[in-house]
Each structure stands twice: as C-alpha cells, then as structure tokens.
Amino acid sequence: MFHDDDVLAAKAKWRKTFVVLGVVCSIVVGGLVGSQFASSDSPSLGTSTQPITTAARTVDDEPAIDVAAVLQTITPSVVTIISNLDDGQATGTGVVISSDGEILTNAHVVESAESVSVMFVDTLNPVSAQVLAIDVGNDLALLRVDMSGLLPVVFADATSIDIGDDVVAVGFALNLDGGPTVTRGIVSALNRTITSGDGALDGLIQTDTAISSGNSGGPLLNTSGQVIGINTAVFKSSTDVAANNVGFSISVSEVLPVIAALRSLANGATRTEGYLGVTVLNRDDGGRGAVIGDVSPDSPADLAGMIAGDIVIEADGSPVDGQLALVAAIRDRSPGDTIAVDVLRNDKRMTLSATLTERPVQ
C-alpha cells in the first residue's frame, strides 16, 4: 500500500531491475518519495529569461530518419557533464536549453557532486558549471555556465510523438573518448511509469534505442533532430526477469513544466508538493487503475467525494494504469491546483474534482 505522504520502499525486484544511467556507479531505482527541490547556495549566475525553443506541430508524416543529419544538428548542443564526487568522478550528458548558458541534465548526475563542470564537443577544456536547481523526484537538474552564443536544442511538440516513430539517442555512453555516441530505435510505448530511488517517474517514453551508462541527461530525438525526451533509465535483466532494449526517457510534456519550476527555484522560489489524502493500492484482478484504500477525513479526496474502493482510471487527463501513476500525478502538482480524477464506482464512471492542499504536519 502506498500513501501519498509516506516514503515507502518498492519491491526488491524493482530495485534490481530499473537502473538510472550513471557511469561511476549505477544508482538503483527503487522506493517512492516526493519530489525534492533544491536551489543553489550561490545563485550569482542567475537563470535565463529566454523562452525555451519548441517546435510547432506539423501534420506531415515524419520523414525517413537521417541519423547523420540528426547528429550534426544536435552535436553543438550536447555536452558532457562531469561531477566531482567524494570518491571520484561521474559523467553524464546534458543539453543546452538557452543561448546564455542554461543546461539541462538528470538530477542523479549532479545531486551528490561537490563541483560540476561541462565539456563541449568543440573545446579542449571543461568549463565550470553552477547547479541552479534540482528536482530529484522528476530526475532533472538545471545548470548554468558563464557563456553566451550557445546553440540551444529545439523541443518537439509533445502531441507529435507517436508509438513506432523513429528516434535517435545521443550521449556520452560509457564516457568513451571522442564525440558522443548515437544509437537508433523507435518509440516503443508512451506514458510509462516506473519507480525511482526518489519518486515515481511518470509520463515516460519507452524506447528500444540502446542507451547506456553515461547517456543520463542526454536527448532522445525525432527525425528532425528535435528533443522528445531526456534519457533517464533502463530496464535490465535480473534472476527472474528478462529484458532487452527497454529504456526510458522523460517526455517533453514533463520536461518543459519542470524547467519552468527549476527556473523559479533558481530565483529563490520554493515548491511544495500537492496532497490528496489517500492510500493507494494496485488492483488485484489484473485490471487497470489504482484502488483507493483509506481516505483521510477532511482531506482533498474526502471533500471531492472519493471513497474507499473507488478505482482511479484517470488523473488530470492522464491514464492511471496503477498506483504509481496516481502517486506521480499528484506529486507533480502543487497545493491549490485543482485536478479532475476519473473513478469507477460499482462499474459506473464518474469525474470528481479535487483541490490539492499542502501536506498536513504530522
């Protein structure tokens, strides 16, 4: 049973199976906590006021993928992230998101670093970087280098992403010498949810593109070289689970709101997670959805009319296939946000409206 204000460990097999893509040490993904936001202690570089570059949706079919052309487009905007730790170095990948020095990467690449530097493909020496803000729960971090005239990536329209689309992953896999590694595959599935060491990552793109340690924070790209996701985790085989080419990227639909939140945090703002006030169970009959267990009195769920036994099948317009999806959907929102929750009650579908609050003090 998961409660939306409890920190609980996931099953051991998930701890062994999902791994994020660090180089020096693979960080096992498991357990469930809320998003943890941290702002820089020395925000002297500030954050950009430039808008994020996004592409308009087109109605044309995607062209046949030209991997060399995609790589040429993205290479100036992809960087190596070097994190100096107590016991050595870890490397990952990042993408430039503004011409005046903002860089996006995974939180797990930089969260334990004593210092961070960035290496551009066309330079000989790394550049010192400042960690402006970190969202551990969504596994994203905003960095800044004191440079201008950089070429930012273009983010794709989230509605343009379809299962079966050709995609390319670019990143500094295994920290190999030379330029970035490029691999090719397809979008295998959309809206996946997995447990992570610090939360439940939702809205993920599943891909069969080969991604490896060092690809963390690197882009997953469409045929036009636009970023559709930020690579974050892979599914690996264990003693009782077989897996091949199952990787996950944080979808642009999740990335863009987090960038806005990180920018606010870098300027001194704070964020508190939304609170619904329920315990959540997986269905035990093989069906989709999350089962409401206990409902806290006078909580947002109680005021919305939720009762024990309701099966949540959609939250805020996104399908809920299991308990993790519901927990992630709530923790992505803030106090004061109103969300629509679709439930099945006695086989009848109804839509309830809940206004989230701050988590009560225990």
Active site residue 108: yes
CA-CA distance, 170 to 167, in Å (whole number)?
10
Residues 6+ apart with CB under 8 A from 86: 112, 114
- Looking at 4, 5, 139, 321, which residue is catalytic? 139
How far CA 326 is from CA of 133, 196, 212, 278, in Å, comes to 25, 15, 29, 11
Residue 275 is classified by DSSP as B
CB 34 within 8 A of CB 199: yes
CA-CA distance, 18 to 254, in Å (whole number)?
20
CA-CA distance, 335 to 333, in Å (whole number)?
7
* DSSP β-ladder status, 127-135 and 115-120: antiparallel
CB 121 within 8 A of CB 109: no
- Looking at 108, 198, 212, 332, which residue is catalytic? 108
Three-class SS state of 329: helix
Element (H, E) at 68: helix 67-74
CB 301 within 8 A of CB 292: yes
CB 4 within 8 A of CB 330: yes
Residues marked active site are found at 108, 139, 216
